[in-house]
Amino acid sequence: DGVVWSVYEGPGVQWIDFVFLAGRSSDSFHDPQLCFRNQGWQMDDLRVQNVHIDSLGRDIPVNVLAMTSDTGVKATAIYFFITPFGYTANPFVIKMSLFAAKSLGISAGQGYFIRFIVPTERSREDDLKKIQSFASSMFEVLKTTIPEAIRS
């Protein structure tokens, strides 16, 4: 199990908060809304939608969350999970998938949680475009550094 957390800054974006968590046990994963609340975020709107990631050449299901921090910062977050069987926005599915993979003896039975947060500058659609661009770049890196994590 492991966690990578970083905040990136660069041209065209104030910052992007990125989390990548890997785990083999269903106990490694929970509903991220618990963390958002404990970190001082108020969830204003949550929806599940498909988001296209260019470097994957496909859409993946993600949770899109509009939120406001306890200091008044408005932001957009997306988060999703990668199971041994594919992508999901549902935290329950990652738990069941890891249990099934273990029961079936699948050696690559590892799951992943990925989250991006950007401050809202204009609109949630603009935020999503920033996240999609950054996520595509991040997946290019993950394809070479952790290829077993990327499902086509």
Q: What is the pLDDT along the chain (152 residues), one digit of tens a residue?
A: 788 888 988 776 789 999 999 888 778 888 888 889 999 999 989 999 999 999 888 999 999 999 999 999 999 999 999 888 889 999 889 888 888 888 887 766 688 999 999 999 888 889 999 999 999 998 888 888 887 777 66
Six token digits for residue 127? 């935020």
pLDDT at 108: 65
pLDDT at 53: 92
pTM over 0.85: yes
Q: H or E stretch including 137?
A: helix 124-145
pLDDT at 107: 62
E-assigned strands of the chain? 2-10, 13-23, 41-53, 58-69, 74-83, 86-88, 111-119
pLDDT at 17: 93
pLDDT at 83: 86
Q: Are 113 and 21 in contact (CB under 8 A)?
A: yes
SS3 86: strand
- Using a 10 angstrom Cβ sphere, with 0-12 exposed, 13-18 middle and 19 or more buried, the burial of residue 10 is exposed
